[in-house]
Copies of this chain bind each other. A is one copy, B any other.
């Protein structure tokens, strides 16, 4: 497979690129993560979002343990070729490991972070193990 499109990306010194995940239908920003070359190549080939877990130092196939797979509808690159947007169909309507729709569930309000999203499913129910 010709991977010229992968060569165009300006990877960080650690070989990563920031990835913004957006719900295709609602436009809600669901999460922010990082990808390495293998994660992005697999994402494009499989149509399912795959990230690089910096804490676990391994590929992170989103939804592997939670079932909250992200089917990629669009992959976009920015002007500097150093950031990616994935527009996805979020299985289960839950992207966050806390059981919320989006990881960005805190909003600055009167000088404090206010939680504005409900927990849709108990993380203990979602996970046998961890899928962050």
Contacts and interface: CB of A to CB of B under 8 A. Distances in A.
B18 A108 contact: no
A5 B80 CA distance: 31
Interface string A73-96: 011111110010100000000001
A106 B77 contact: yes
Contact of A76 (B2, B74, B78, B108): B108
Nearest to A97: B79
30 contacts: A4-B111, A8-B113, A18-B18, A18-B32, A20-B29, A20-B32, A22-B27, A32-B78, A32-B83, A44-B108, A74-B107, A74-B108, A75-B107, A75-B108, A76-B105, A76-B107, A77-B107, A77-B108, A77-B113, A78-B103, A78-B104, A78-B105, A78-B106, A79-B96, A79-B97, A79-B100, A79-B105, A80-B103, A83-B104, A85-B104
